[in-house]
Amino acid sequence: MTGNPALIAHLESLFREHGRIPFSRYMEEALYHPEHGYYSGDFERIGARGDFYTAADLDPAMGTLLGNLFDYMSNAMDSFGLVEIGAGKGLLARHVLSHRRFPYIIVERSPAMRRRQEANLSGFDVEWRDDLPSGFQGCVFSNEFFDALPVRRFVRRGGELKEIFVTEGFSEVEGNPEIELDLPLEEGWLTDLSLEARDWTRRIGRTLDRGYHLAIDYGYLSGDFFSRPSGTLMCYHRHRTNENPYTEIGRQDITAHVNFSDLIDVGSEEGLDLAGYTTQMDFLIDLGLLDLMAPLAEAGDVASIRRLQALKTLLLPPMMGERFRVLLQQKGLPPGPVPGFRRTAGAGNKVVSGQPEPEGRS
């Protein structure tokens, strides 16, 4: 294995102490160890000099369009604020606040990322917290937050569900799950389950007195989520992908696709009603992205063409357009179409109890 020597030594001490640890504990340490984890270092993670891009790195359009959506949401409420969970470098927050100075809270667990956010948001009135506020009215939202939460890994062997653990030598062993659950896995198939995603959704439902939860991430509903024989775990290093979480330990990102059905079902238990679920492409088109692109196409200068290419990355299906999904839940508000979700409302995008209508496996 390769990576941060101090983090590798720390993990080896955990193996000696416990014999084996769940993959979720390994992922937690690799990403969030307070000194040596991937998100704790001061090196570049996001952007051209990092390991991956987010929508905010490509263009301010996402923040502008979200600002329009938040305008709409605020019109229906007496009091309205924003909570962004895991704000990356703070660019999306800057783009939203450049549109309108909403009351803004960032929930960030990484001191290194918080320092970067504070630098990029200098001059804006932003409050940082370690956890969600209580009695909140407004919108709690995230962009590529749930995919970075630690996952437990499971596989079906001989008809029984087994959990994957990590042990000495950074090797994997299978054993009886530490938690009781059943999953719709075929024999020999593997899946990645984020219990933290479920927990965060419960907490979001409880923190909201009235308002919305908006999650933008890559993932699927359950029918497609459990149709991946090898699961969805993926690692990113220097803009290249691999499926080996035991290399570049502490120096590469580790992610897994989101099971949006989990967010829908758990949210409903906490009073979060499903208000919309769609692709990023349809979401951005409905919010007016094509209107932003038209003058760039007509201008034809180098700067406009470059920006147009960035916007196409957000929009086109092979890129982010269909890989990313957008979920909207609401609490204490009347039902009705919300901007961003009107193109697909009631047409081939219905979700019942977290399950998609039959469309075949992709």
**What pLDDT is recorded for position 354?**
41
β 136-143/208-220 pair status: parallel
Residues contacting residue 259 through CB under 8 Å, at least 6 positions apart: 193, 194, 197, 219, 220, 221, 222, 225
**What pLDDT is recorded for position 50?**
54
Above 60 in pLDDT, residue 359?
A: no
For residue 75, the surrounding DSSP H or E stretch is: helix 61-75
**What pLDDT is recorded for position 316?**
83
Helix, strand, coil percent values for the chain (each to nearest 5): 35, 25, 35
**What pLDDT is recorded for position 357?**
34
Task: Give the span between the Cα atoms of 120 and 47, in whole angstroms.
Answer: 14
**What pLDDT is recorded for position 362?**
28
Above 60 in pLDDT, residue 324?
A: yes
Task: Give the span between the Cα atoms of 298 and 61, in whole angstroms.
Answer: 18
Task: Give the span between the Cα atoms of 300 and 166, in whole angstroms.
Answer: 53
Classify residue 84 as left (phi > 0), alpha (psi -120 to 50) or beta: beta
pLDDT tens digits, 212-230: 999 999 999 999 999 999 9
Burial label for 295, CB within 10 Å (0-12, 13-18, 19+), is exposed
Mean pLDDT of 74-100: 95
Name which of 92-106, 197-211, 255-269, 344-358 the model is least confident about.
344-358
Residue with tokens 């970067």: 116
Task: Give the span between the Cα atoms of 154 and 177, in whole angstroms.
Answer: 8
Q: pLDDT band for 360, please (50, 70, 90 cuts).
A: very low
Of residues 171 and 346, more confidently modeled: 171
Mean pLDDT of 48-71: 81
Counted residue by residue, the chain has a size of 362
* 185-189: long-range pairs with CB below 8 Å, 24+: 185/154, 185/155, 185/156, 185/161, 185/226, 186/156, 186/229, 187/156, 187/157, 187/158, 187/159, 188/155, 188/156, 188/157, 188/229, 189/155, 189/156, 189/226, 189/228, 189/229, 189/230
Tokens read off for 323: 């890989």
**What pLDDT is recorded for position 49?**
56
Task: Give the span between the Cα atoms of 262 and 268, in whole angstroms.
Answer: 10
* C-beta separation of 331 from 201 below 8 A: no
Residue 213's beta-bridge partner residues?
140, 329
β 240-242/208-220 pair status: unpaired
Residue of 126, 277, 125 lying closest to 216 (CA atoms): 277
* C-beta separation of 33 from 250 below 8 A: yes
Mean pLDDT of 190-201: 97
Q: Domains for the chain: give ranges and CATH numbers.
A: 5-338 (3.40.50.12710)
Q: What is the DSSP string of 83-103?
A: EEES-TTSHHHHHHHHH----
Q: How many CB atoms lie within 10 A of CB 241?
A: 13
**What pLDDT is recorded for position 48?**
55
Share of the chain above pLDDT 90, in %: 76
Q: Is the dihedral of CA 13, 35, 191, 246 positive or negative?
A: negative
Burial label for 149, CB within 10 Å (0-12, 13-18, 19+), is buried
Q: pLDDT band for 313, please (50, 70, 90 cuts).
A: confident
pLDDT tens digits, 106-122: 999 888 889 999 999 99
Mean residue pLDDT of the chain comes to 90
